[in-house]
């Protein structure tokens, strides 16, 4: 690699942004040239996150102070909140005179030279995940500000959409809950082994999944020594999961989904209850997942009755899965675990960036999980 790619991380002072920077700092093909923050603008990232103090990084600047024309960026990883992200990404493509709407985003065939001199964007917010503008407005409470970009973005679950990721300028990174759920369910829907009208997902996430902004409900006394559900029956990740499951099923899908906040820093565990299609067994589901992920570097189907746990994936880009027979006839239980900040966010963005630039998909992501 003769020249490193110039990368900006927007929203670097949040948990997801900081994890993305940590991963990119060890990436052999990347140079971090811009880091943005709002309240922390003007500071060194190491003063905001002391564990990153030893890294050679640019200081944090305000988004309004970024000079897009002169930055000569190859990639931008957006770790901004929804709404803010769509405005910034739309302005970025406009400022760089990007041909995203005409011949860059969503090309039908690979075009290795088609992106020369063009910025590639990997967005970690929810702004470009839903292809239906009306659905976005329903779930996020306001019209989308960049609807053309919204409809042309690629849903960037690497194990599912590699070709599309390779061939897009705008990757909509999946949410953390959908990442685990879709990795567990999509091969089973493809194979017709489960009833898509009977899926119930019980999900639990560490507090970092709620972000770093000051919120009363995230204070230690509110979350310590306790666990509680939130957004019951109306979590914003539901339409994203239903959209992707519906694509696989070839028809609309409705799921049950209840997330819970648990008193740990990071990690995500999903217990998914499914009804088997006639003639199928829990072991058949497990065989399907084994076959689907046999060559995947970041997805592992565990042996025997070993149950996935967040301690198996902490600090890594890994997803671990297993399938169990339910005591009730004709049903099975699928369990998935990921680190919400890595495979559920920054690590998956680095994985997709590797695909975009034709690097080995595992570059910068080979660290083993942390334990204890």
CB 285 within 8 A of CB 188: yes
Q: How confident is the model at residue 107, as a pLDDT?
A: 38
Q: Mean pLDDT for the chain?
A: 91
Q: What phi-psi label fits residue 256: left (phi over 0), alpha (psi between -120 and 50 degrees) or beta?
A: beta
Q: Identify the residue whose tokens are 């495979």.
A: 343
Q: Which residues contact 139 (CB under 8 A, 6 or more apart)?
A: 130, 236, 238, 239
User: For residue 225, what are its two tokens?
Assistant: 């020594």
Residue 168 pLDDT > 70: yes
Residue 237 pLDDT > 50: yes
Task: Give start and end residues of each alpha helix (H) in 75-215.
Answer: 84-95, 133-140, 147-152, 158-166, 176-190
pLDDT band at 106 (very low <50, low <70, confident <90, very high): very low
Q: Identify the residue whose tokens are 């919120």.
A: 215
Q: Identify the residue whose tokens are 């700092």.
A: 25
User: For residue 151, what are its two tokens?
Assistant: 């409809």
Q: How confident is the model at residue 96, as a pLDDT?
A: 63
Residues with active-site annotation: 176
**Rounded Cα–Cα distance for residues 94 and 319 (Å):** 36
**Rounded Cα–Cα distance for residues 36 and 95 (Å):** 17
Starting at the edge strand found earlier in the chain, the sheet holding 5-10 runs 60-61, 30-36, 5-10, 75-78, 120-123, 170-172, 154-155
CA distances from 368 to 18, 259, 319, 320, 371 (A): 19, 27, 12, 13, 9
3-state secondary structure of 241: helix
**Rounded Cα–Cα distance for residues 313 and 52 (Å):** 21
Residue 214 pLDDT > 70: no
Q: How confident is the model at residue 351, as a pLDDT?
A: 98
pLDDT band at 53 (very low <50, low <70, confident <90, very high): very high
Longest dimension (CA), the chain: 63
CB 317 within 8 A of CB 343: yes
Cis peptide before 146 (omega within 30 of 0): no
Q: Which of 49-63, 132-146, 210-224 has the lowest mean pLDDT?
A: 210-224
Q: How confident is the model at residue 266, as a pLDDT?
A: 95
Beta strands 331-338 and 268-276: pairing type?
A: antiparallel
User: For residue 282, what are its two tokens?
Assistant: 């829990």
pTM for the predicted model, two decimal places: 0.93
Burial (Cβ within 10 Å: 0-12, 13-18, ≥19) of residue 278 = exposed
Q: How confident is the model at residue 65, as a pLDDT?
A: 93
Residue 282's nearest CA partner among 226, 321, 239 is 321
Q: How confident is the model at residue 2, as a pLDDT?
A: 57
Mean pLDDT to the nearest integer, 302-320: 98
Residue 110 pLDDT > 50: no
Mean pLDDT to the nearest integer, 112-117: 56
Q: How confident is the model at residue 113, as a pLDDT?
A: 43
Q: How confident is the model at residue 118, as a pLDDT?
A: 82
**Rounded Cα–Cα distance for residues 295 and 298 (Å):** 9
Q: Which of 18-32, 65-79, 113-127, 309-323 has the lowest mean pLDDT?
A: 113-127
Q: Identify the residue whose tokens are 């609807």.
A: 147
Mean pLDDT to the nearest integer, 344-363: 97
Residue 101 pLDDT > 50: no
Residue 109 pLDDT > 50: no
Q: How confident is the model at residue 211, as a pLDDT?
A: 75
Helix (H) or strand (E) holding 61: strand 60-61
pLDDT band at 362 (very low <50, low <70, confident <90, very high): very high
Q: How confident is the model at residue 95, as a pLDDT?
A: 65
């Amino acid at each position: 690699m003769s020249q490193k790619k110039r990368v900006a991380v927007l929203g670097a002072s949040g948990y997801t942004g900081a994890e993305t920077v940590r991963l990119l700092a060890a990436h052999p093909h990347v140079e971090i040239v811009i880091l943005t923050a709002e309240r922390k603008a003007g500071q060194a990232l190491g003063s905001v996150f002391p564990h990153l103090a030893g890294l050679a990084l640019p200081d944090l600047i305000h988004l309004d102070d970024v000079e897009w024309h002169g930055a000569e960026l190859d990639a931008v990883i957006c770790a901004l909140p929804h709404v803010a992200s769509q405005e910034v990404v739309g302005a970025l493509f406009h400022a760089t005179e990007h041909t995203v709407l005409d011949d860059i985003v969503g090309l039908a065939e690979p075009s290795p030279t088609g992106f020369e001199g063009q910025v590639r964007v990997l967005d970690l917010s929810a702004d470009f995940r839903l292809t239906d503008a009306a659905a976005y407005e329903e779930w996020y409470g306001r019209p989308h500000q960049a609807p053309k970009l919204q409809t042309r973005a690629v849903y960037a679950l690497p194990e599912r959409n590699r070709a599309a990721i390779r061939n897009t300028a705008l990757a909509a990174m999946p949410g953390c809950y959908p990442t685990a759920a879709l990795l567990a369910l999509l091969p089973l829907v493809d194979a017709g082994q489960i009833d898509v009208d009977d899926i119930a997902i019980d999900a639990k996430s560490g507090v970092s999944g709620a972000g770093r902004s000051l919120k009363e409900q995230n204070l230690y006394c509110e979350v310590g020594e306790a666990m509680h559900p939130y957004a019951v029956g109306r979590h914003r990740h539901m339409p994203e999961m239903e959209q992707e499951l519906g694509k696989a099923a070839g028809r609309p899908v409705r799921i049950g989904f209840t997330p819970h906040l648990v008193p740990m820093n990071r990690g995500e565990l999903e217990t998914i209850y499914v009804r088997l299609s006639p003639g199928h067994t829990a072991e058949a589901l497990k065989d399907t997942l084994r076959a689907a992920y046999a060559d995947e570097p970041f997805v592992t189907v565990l042996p025997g009755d070993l149950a996935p746990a967040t301690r198996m994936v902490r600090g890594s880009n890994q997803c671990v899965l297993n399938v169990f027979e339910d005591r009730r006839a004709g049903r099975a239980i699928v369990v998935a675990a990921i680190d919400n900040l890595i495979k559920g966010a920054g690590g998956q963005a680095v994985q997709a960036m590797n695909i975009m630039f034709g690097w080995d998909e595992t570059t910068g992501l080979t660290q083993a999980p942390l334990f204890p």
